[in-house]
Chains A and B, each alone.
Chain A
Amino acid sequence: MIPIAQPPSLSDFGHDPWWLVLGKIVFAFVVALLGTLLGVWFERRVVGRMAVRPGPNQLGPFGLLQTLADGLKMAFKEDILPKAADKVIYFIAPAISMICAVTMLSVIPFGPMVSIFGHQTPLQVTDVSVSVLVVLALSSMAVYGIVLAGWASGSTYPLLGGLRSTAQLISYEVSLGLSIVAVFMLAGTMSTSEIVAAQGQGVTLNLFGAELPGPGWFALLLFPSFVVFFISIVGETNRPPFDMPEAESELVAGFMTEYSSLKFALIMLSEYVAMVAMSAFTVTLFLGGWYAPWPISIWSGANSGWWPLLWFFAKVILLVFVFVWLRGTLPRLRYDQLMRLGWKVLIPVSLVWIVFLATWLKVQDWERNDRLVVFGILGGIALIAALFWPNRKPEQKPTVAEQVENRPQGSFPLPPMDLQVPPSPRTRRMVAEREPANVPAGQDSEEV
């Protein structure tokens, strides 16, 4: 058999027989469900390790069946419908989240062209010329699931969670979309399979005349975009430290407080599927999709046949680990900090980066002198801006001793600043009254 090395293009889609299409859809669905089953286990084990405890380890080998058991238990719980709930919307809200999360996987390229029972077909359910926009549209529709769940529950905590999530998800969608623009500019396409193909070959960087071979991954070429994108998808999937809509310490469970039984299971499922789908999306856009990472890619057969499936899922698992790592490490942001990060940091950074990248791409084929003039002008503007930027003078902070001195008369009592607690008179008296200890003299003469 000849290994098939060419990446699929848009014209390779839409020729599959119906059973192949069905098989691919079932495969994507199984990836979603297995991703959840193993994802919850993985998260609990990893967070457990980070908290120096074993995590679930009783059911099955390494506790692998724990999630399955939890899911079964959830199915047998009583399904509670609150009296004040809006019945229809209360029912369809979890379904909306779930449908949007699972459908995202349909445009993710899992691998290159493979041969299945004699059919040459790409390992991807489907691809259109605007696949990335399809994922964006689905993630913006998934907000409805959360918002409607919060509203339809007819109680206060879910409503607050729903309102928070509306504001948060809309803000982070903006920076998400802006960070992808750089990928579009470099890849020249919005189709996921072609974006992956664009990362397949290394690029040659033209650094002031010197031709340098560069890596093809957009995470390296477009590093600022990658950082903004990853922070945005953490906000978009409601994962810690951005899990404001379900902040346990403030809102019980946020928008899903009133949900129970299978509907709750559906919400949990959609959350983990969204995490897996967004990780897969990141791998597709920035981490080279199914292409083998560098040391493996030396082997010529690494990017053909079924091997790429392995590289793809390895990258996805790595990203899911990062999600879990963030959860195990970072405390939850306050709401105003979250909004400030989204609007005042991520969006301006994306905008400036896009303008810079557009200039860079535009002047690539210009004369060398013209190019230097452009960058000179840009550098001059940046320099002038830096010179005239209103800087805040750091105020002289009073020392602790000065602050204590300046406290007005009658202030609240302070503990001693050197943290040496004065012995209480009672203890001193008791020590004085104590009879001398009757200890036979040993080598240790420093008896107290």
Chain B
Amino acid sequence: MTTSTVLAAAGAVSGGEAVTFWILAPLALAGAIGMIAARNAVHSALWLVLTMLSLGVFYVLQAGPFIGMVQIIVYTGAIMMLFLFVLMLVGRDASDSLIEVLRGQRIAAIGLGVGFAALLGSGTYRATQGTEAVGLEQANAGGNVQSIARLLFTDYVFAFELTAALLITATIGGMILAHVERRKEDRRDQVATMKARFTPGNYPGPKPGPGVFATSSSVATPARLPDGRLSDRSTPDILPVRELTAEETTLKGTEK
């Protein structure tokens, strides 16, 4: 029997468990509040990570070491990490604005939230008051992990497989929606790209910058090739190429 099992099996709350609870419970609450209050999306995600970590430790305290660790590995390690991934792609300066769109919405939300929390908390407290936790010994007989494994692969194997099938379906659906099918002939590998680059008619070197050897340094002025011709590869396609008139190219007399 592990230490955590000893802690929870006694029924009464032991000293170590109480100390851990009173340290982590405020942290978990602070994480939840911080997640709402933080204006930066990444900060919000990190506050949520704090809450999830505290919950993981709570599970371990409640003699569920496996579920506690899985909570940390799956939720904080994988799911929140994917959240962060998306948030970082969105951009680091994407902060919420403080302008209230609906007047009084914030105060109403706070009031409703606190009321709901009080209702839920008091309801749970009254419902569980005086009840004795039973069956932990039997449930954890032969090890916590082994007992969970036995349940998952006997009584709940169908539900488990269905959940897995659901998740796989969602994943494959997402992949199909996002996937662009390209025919094999259209795919160009490195060798083909290099060959296309050196085919006659394509100039393999870098493009000349606009304004090179030209009468003006404007981006609209095409570069001149060594033989004096204009190179339209040097100007962006969206700019109209225009030849300057003689009047425009003469010195204005403003230069020193």
Contacts and interface: CB of A to CB of B under 8 A. Distances in A.
Interface of A: 10-11, 13-14, 86, 89, 128-130, 133-134, 136-137, 140-141, 143-144, 147-148, 151, 154, 159, 162-163, 166-167, 170, 173, 177, 188-190, 408-412
A412 B88 contact: no
Contact of A173 (B72, B76, B78, B200): B78
B72 A412 contact: no
Interface string B105-137: 000000000000000000000000000000000
Contacts of A409: 200
Contact of A147 (B66, B70, B88): B88
Interface stretch (B19-27, B79-87, B154-162, B245-253): B79-87
Interface in B45-78: 46, 49, 56, 65-66, 69-70, 72-73, 76-78
9 contacts: A129-B66, A130-B69, A137-B69, A141-B76, A141-B77, A144-B81, A166-B85, A170-B82, A409-B200
A140 B56 CA distance: 14
Contacts, number: 94
A14 B144 CA distance: 18
Given A141-B77, A144-B49, A147-B85, 20 more contacts: A11-B1, A14-B3, A86-B42, A89-B42, A89-B43, A128-B3, A130-B145, A133-B69, A137-B77, A140-B72, A141-B72, A147-B88, A151-B42, A151-B88, A162-B88, A166-B82, A177-B73, A190-B145, A410-B200, A411-B198
Contacts of B89: 163
B150 to A, nearest CB: 13
B171 to A, nearest CB: 12
Contacts of B46: 89, 148
B80 to A, nearest CB: 9
B88 A163 contact: yes
A407 to B, nearest CB: 9
A147 B84 contact: yes
Q: Could you say which of B1, B72, B144 has the most chain A C-beta atoms within 10 Å of its C-beta?
A: B72
B199 interface: yes
Nearest to A129: B2
Contacts of B92: 86, 151, 154, 159
B73 A137 contact: yes
Q: Could you say which of B43, B88, B204 has the most chain A C-beta atoms within 10 Å of its C-beta?
A: B88
B65 A130 contact: yes
Report, nearest first, the 8 A-B pairs whose CB atoms are least far apart: A140-B77, A410-B200, A133-B69, A137-B72, A130-B65, A412-B198, A166-B85, A137-B73
B4 interface: yes
B143 interface: yes
Contact of A411 (B1, B66, B146, B199): B199
Contact of B88 (A13, A141, A159, A189): A159
Contacts of B73: 133, 136-137, 140, 177
A109 B145 CA distance: 21
Nearest to B145: A190
Q: Could you say which of A130, A143, A170 has the most chain B C-beta atoms within 10 Å of its C-beta?
A: A130
B4 A128 contact: yes
Contact of B65 (A129, A136, A188): A129
Contacts of B145: 129-130, 190
